[in-house]
Amino acid sequence: MKLSVHKKHIGLKQPFRVAFGTIAGLDVVEVELREGDVVGRGECCPMDIYGQSADATVAEIEAVAPLFDRGGIDRAALQGLLPSRSARNALDCALWDLEAKASGRSVWDLAGLAAPDAIASDITIGILSPEETASVAATLREATTIKLKLGGEHDLECLRAVRGVLPDTPLFVDVNAGWTLDHLNRMAPELAAADVFMIEQPLAPGEDALLDGYHRAVPLCADESCHDRGDLDRLVGRYDYVNIKLDKTGGLTEALALAAAARERGFRLMTGCMLGSGLAMAPAYVVASVCDVVDLDVPLIVRDAAHAGVRHDGRQVHRFAADLWG
C-alpha cells in the first residue's frame, strides 16, 4: 500500500469570526492510499486551537508511511498507531474509502447504516454587529435551523436581532469556550426566553467541572470538550449533547463508536466539522445520518466551488456521490 500526503488551502467567501478569532481560510491535509489500481482518499483540517498545524500533521503522516508501505495497517491497527486527532482522521477516512472501492461495497454497507438522500442541516451566522446579524438573518428565512456564534461584544443584541427577523426558526448558539460560568448563568435565562434549544461549549474544555454550578436553563453541548469515548465519563451530568467531529475523534471509525457509546450514556448527538472540501464533508455526512443536530454548512461558505463537493441547498445537505468518497 502506497501512501502519499499533501496540503492545500481552502479559502472562504468572506472572513468568519468566532470567539477565538477570525478565519479567512485554512490549510487542510489530503491523504491518498494506493493499492494496485485502487485509491482511497481522506482529508483533515488541523487547527491551532488543538495544538495542531498542517505542516506538523503532514510530518506525522509521513512518519508512519513506511508502515503502510509494508502492509498490515488496517482501520483497527490505526486506532492504536496514532492518537485521536487530525492525522489519524485523514488516514482512517482514506482506509474506509479504499476498502469500499476495493470491495465494490459502499461505505454505508461497510458501516451497516442506511444512506439517506438528504439530511437537514443548520446555517451558521458568525460574530457580527447586531445590524449585520439582522441583515444576514433576513437572507436565511428558509433555513431549517440557525446556529448563532456568540462570545463577542454584543451577544444579547445579536440574539435579539436574529429573533426579530426569524422568530420561529429553531435556534442554538455556539460560544466556542468564550464565556465564564457567571456569564453563562446570566445569559442562559435570556437564551431560554428566546427559545434557544442548546448552548454549545460555553466554557473552556479544562473547566468542565465548573458546570456543576450551572443553573441549567438551556441544555449544553460539548464540542471542544469531547474528542473520543474517553471523554464521556467526565461529561455525564454536565452536558446534554456531544458534538462529534472527525478531526477530534481521529476518523470515522472512532466517530461511529463514540456516537453509539454516547447514545448509550444518554447524550443526544450533534455532528459538525472543521473547514474542508467535499472529501471531508462526505464522511461527516455518514456521521450526520445518526445525529440529532447537523452542522455541515461549510459547502455554503467555501470560496472555490470545486471544494464544496457535497451540496447544501440552504435547508439540507445531499448525499455525496460514490466517485467522491466511499
The per-residue pLDDT for range 125-182, each reduced to its tens digit, is 999 999 999 999 999 999 999 999 999 999 999 999 999 999 999 999 999 999 999 9
Domains for the chain: give ranges and CATH numbers: 2-104 (3.30.390.10), 118-318 (3.20.20.120)
For residue 299, give Cα distances in angstroms to 232, 237, 275, 305. 30, 34, 9, 8
* Rounded Cα distance, 170 and 156, in Å: 17
Pinpoint the alpha helices (H) of 71-111.
Answer: 75-81, 86-103, 107-111
What H or E segment, with its residue span, contains residue 198?
A: strand 196-200
Mean of the pLDDT values across residues 104-114? 98
What H or E segment, with its residue span, contains residue 242?
A: strand 241-244
Q: What cell was used for 49?
A: 486551537
Q: Is the pTM of this model over 0.75?
A: yes
Q: What is the DSSP string of 130-169?
A: HHHHHHHHTT-TT-S-EEEE--SS-HHHHHHHHHHH-SSS
The set of catalytic residues is: 149, 245
Q: What cell was used for 212?
A: 456543576
Q: Identify the pLDDT of residue 307.
A: 87
The per-residue pLDDT for range 27-63, each reduced to its tens digit, is 999 999 999 999 999 999 999 999 999 999 999 999 9
Q: Identify the pLDDT of residue 286.
A: 98
Task: Categorize the per-residue pLDDT at 20 as very low, low, confident or very high, splitting at 50, 70 and 90.
Answer: confident
Collect all residues with Cβ–Cβ distance below 8 Å to 149 and sequence separation of at least 6: 17, 18, 19, 124, 125, 126, 127, 173, 174, 175, 176
Quote the distance between the C-alpha of residue 122 and its chain's center.
12
The per-residue pLDDT for range 283-296, each reduced to its tens digit, is 999 999 999 999 99
Q: How many helices (H) and strands (E) does the chain have?
A: 12, 13
Task: Categorize the per-residue pLDDT at 258 as very low, low, confident or very high, splitting at 50, 70 and 90.
Answer: very high
Strand 268-271 to strand 293-294: parallel, antiparallel, or no bridges (unpaired)?
parallel
Q: What cell was used for 61?
A: 503522516
* Rounded Cα distance, 176 and 50, in Å: 12
